[in-house]
Amino acid sequence: MTHTASLLVELQVEELPPRALKSLGQAFADQLVRGLQAHGVAPENAVVTPYATPRRLAVHVTRVAARGADRRVRQKLMPVAVGLDAHGQARPPLLKKLATLGLDEHAVAGLVHADEGGRAMLFHDHVEPGHALQQALQAALQQALTQLPIPKVMTYQLHRRTALPGWDSVQFVRPAHSLVALHGTDVVAVSALGLQAGRRTRGHRFEAAVDPVELADADSYADALRSQGAVIASFAERRALVASQVQAAAQQAGSGLLPLADAELLDEVTALVERPKAMVCRFDAEFLEVPPECLILTMKANQKYFPLQDAAGKLSNRFVVVSNISPEDAGAVVSGNERVVRARLADARFFFDQDRRRTLASRVPDLARVVYHNRLGTQGERSERVSAIAALIAQKLGGGTLREQAEQAARLAKADLSTGMVGEFPELQGIMGRYYALHDGLPEPVANAIADHYRPRFSGDALPREEVGAVVALADKLETLVGLFGIGSLPTGDKDPFALRRHALGVIRILIEKKELNLRLDDLLDISRSAFDVQIEDPTSALQEFFLERLRHFLSIKYLDERAIEAFAAQPGRGYTTRADFQGFPTSVVNAVLANDPQFLGDIRAKLLAVSQFSSLPEAPALAAANKRITNILKKSDALGDARPVDEALLHEPAELALHRALQTTVPQANCQFDAGDYTASLQTLAALRAPVDAFFDDVMVNAEDAALRRNRLALLQQLHQAMNQVADLSQLA
């Protein structure tokens, strides 16, 4: 058995883009190991440890062989009749094929005769020697580097004294300075990006005890970097350390202070430091008069600080900075960061004060100078359309104050786009509009609607908090969908520049989760289409199909990740209580409900639960199969439609009489339960029809020769079909 040992591969580079570091590190490890396994030198159950710091990508793999195992290979050559004559001698085509394999006529006796698909074939059995580690790693390394998810490639020149022959310039995410490849204690002679592999790497820029760090073997990599290079190589370990240090610093800063939870910021800070050191800083309390969202975004986006808040969620004037150095006296680092953040917060306060000198209403005309789309006009024209749609939706919900507030909020919703604060921080659009609306003395529901009309912005985001906000959010999203679909600007494949899928999902969630609105999708599309005075095609049919597919996707998957579930379920009035509420429904159940093309989405979850429970009943398979049979019969007879009256005088067979009586008894009760919204009870009531339905199909000929009997029996099946498919198309369960 060939020698095995741990393998360590490291590429030491200049500072990598922090937002991409985590994915780059994982992709480098995954691709490299996949290549090693494909060449047979790494086992499927190898333990793989990825490493990623601002200045390196690395991977440690256990039980890597110095040479892959030999493989027995059977190669198909040609049919026996083509390769051999009647005396078993090789024909020219076979000799030519053997020559390409480096063989001659002496190999004919060793060929294998085997049957394949009823034909006698010739095969050549041989042993392929396993790949040497150097050959396998070279190929795997080249593949891994070319398939990295690099956000933007750099081109740089190599130093003539250190570059390998033939290398002049290199394209990579950042300039690479050294390559390490160790198999146990031995260097593997591979190269990449103009670099020859060795055993030396670089530690921390300022705090390494030894430079360069010489690695004795693959297994000592992380420990050597930590002790000699002052670097924590593991991204996961460094992330956990940053989190614990920030938490400890927050407790040190004041009783009850907590850092704002932000997984993306934690990842980004982890990608900026090789040995973290958390320190507490503060800013002047007078800046707390600025909306906290502005201060938080300034600290997080610009400076990568962790803002601190008290137990009630109120922002404090303290924050945590994570440094990449650990000075004996942290005062200089703290004061430097406080000086920087003071200037940043002063800018935010300036924008806030300047913006409030004008009312939101006075900014609305500014939107006429902002182009929304060359075929759909300006943002001002778009705001007018959104306002008109919102007014019509509100009128449908009762009008009065709701219509007045929805119309006003829709007209002002985009006005903050011309403010200095939103110009500096586009992420605050809507949020700042709310503050400025409150400053102008507008009603709180109007101000909240200005902020909430963007919701939900992502999977698991909160919905608008009030009815006014829900109306404006629907109007805004529907205007976008109708307008862009109306000019043929549809999403294709993975390209969706106007986020139309997200807009459609937002409409779906509002209609499902705020079912008290009692709005139908088809009515909303008609309302939205009526608001356009520019020339667009009627997008209703395409949008109905688009919404149906988005709805199918929404219902069929677990659409929230673990973090989103906790935040989402904790919101008041959510109505969902268990994790199972977020699980996707079976495809057959989703298809059954969506086959009826539902337009009121508020009860779709109840229908899905009802069909799910019905599908588990012992009667369900037979009734689903019967329903499919009925559908096919009615389609072939052109009788699939509204139920016709049944003439009892023409019911002669006992089985059809029994089915008619069962319908007379069962259907009124099921209809009452359906009208009351108890879809589960309605379907369970209909389950009692299994026996008479089975008997009907066993004993009754539907397509009787007598035309009157045939029409009457089809009418009976029409009534049955209509009763069974009110909740869902049960034939989809067959």
Q: Summarize pLDDT for 262-280 with one digit per residue, the tens.
A: 999 999 999 999 999 999 9
Report the number of distinct structural domains present in the chain: 5
Q: In this structure, is residue 592 part of a structural domain?
A: no
Percent of the chain predicted with pLDDT > 90:
70
Asked if residue 301 and residue 381 are part of one domain, the reply reads no
End position of a domain, from candidates 180, 195, 229: 229
Percent of the chain predicted with pLDDT > 70:
95
pLDDT at 101: 87
Asked if residue 174 and residue 85 are part of one domain, the reply reads no
Q: In this structure, is residue 601 part of a structural domain?
A: no
pLDDT at 432: 97
Asked if residue 324 and residue 384 are part of one domain, the reply reads no
Asked if residue 514 and residue 493 are part of one domain, the reply reads yes
pLDDT at 574: 42
pLDDT at 156: 87
End position of a domain, from candidates 340, 372, 399: 340
Residue pair 660/651 in contact (Cβ under 8 Å)? The answer is yes
Q: In this structure, is residue 173 part of a structural domain?
A: yes
CA-based end-to-end distance of the chain = 55
Higher-pLDDT residue of 640, 665: 665
Asked if residue 656 and residue 612 are part of one domain, the reply reads yes
Q: Is 400 exposed, middle or buried (0-12, 13-18, 19+ CB in 10 A)?
A: exposed
Q: In this structure, is residue 356 part of a structural domain?
A: no
pLDDT at 306: 96
pLDDT at 162: 61
Higher-pLDDT residue of 643, 694: 694
Residues 6+ apart with CB under 8 A from 667: 686, 719, 723
End position of a domain, from candidates 102, 128, 154: 128
Going by pLDDT thresholds of 50, 70 and 90, the confidence category of residue 644 is confident
Asked if residue 404 and residue 454 are part of one domain, the reply reads yes
Mean pLDDT computed over 611-629: 90
Q: What is the DSSP string of 528-548?
A: HHHT--S-----HHHHHHHHH
Asked if residue 683 and residue 629 are part of one domain, the reply reads yes
Each residue's pLDDT tens digit, 293-309:
999 999 998 899 999 99
Q: In this structure, is residue 598 part of a structural domain?
A: no
pLDDT at 479 over 70: yes
pTM for this prediction: 0.80
Residue pair 65/285 in contact (Cβ under 8 Å)? The answer is no
Token pair 């704002």 is at which residue? Answer: 260
pLDDT at 166: 67
Asked if residue 209 and residue 152 are part of one domain, the reply reads yes
Asked if residue 239 and residue 223 are part of one domain, the reply reads no
Each residue's pLDDT tens digit, 535-556:
899 999 999 999 999 998 888 7
Residue 689's domain is classified under what CATH number? 1.10.730.10
pLDDT at 415 over 70: yes
User: Strands, E, within 344-400: which ranges?
Assistant: 371-373, 377-378
Q: In this structure, is residue 249 part of a structural domain?
A: yes
Asked if residue 576 and residue 444 are part of one domain, the reply reads yes
Each residue's pLDDT tens digit, 575-598:
444 444 445 678 889 999 999 999
Q: What is the largest CA-CA distance in the chain?
A: 104
Each residue's pLDDT tens digit, 340-397:
999 999 999 999 999 999 999 999 999 999 999 999 999 999 999 999 999 999 999 9
pLDDT at 450: 98
Q: In this structure, is residue 347 part of a structural domain?
A: no
3-class DSSP state of 439: helix
Asked if residue 726 and residue 626 are part of one domain, the reply reads yes
How far is 98 from 102, CA to CA, in rounded Å?
6
C-alpha distances in Å from residue 303, one per residue of 81, 295, 319, 704: 77, 11, 11, 82
Token pair 């509002």 is at which residue? Answer: 510
How far is 278 from 275, CA to CA, in rounded Å?
10
Q: In this structure, is residue 712 part of a structural domain?
A: yes
Residue 92, domain extent: 71-128
Mean pLDDT computed over 164-174: 81
pLDDT at 635: 85
Residue 499's domain is classified under what CATH number? 1.10.3210
pLDDT at 126: 80
Each residue's pLDDT tens digit, 177-192:
999 999 999 999 999 9
Asked if residue 624 and residue 487 are part of one domain, the reply reads no
Q: What does the CA dihedral 141, 145, 147, 150 come to, rounded to 10 degrees?
A: 160
Mean pLDDT computed over 159-175: 77
Helix extents (H) in 150-234: 221-229
Say which range, 160-169, 317-326, 390-399, has the weakest mean pLDDT. Answer: 160-169
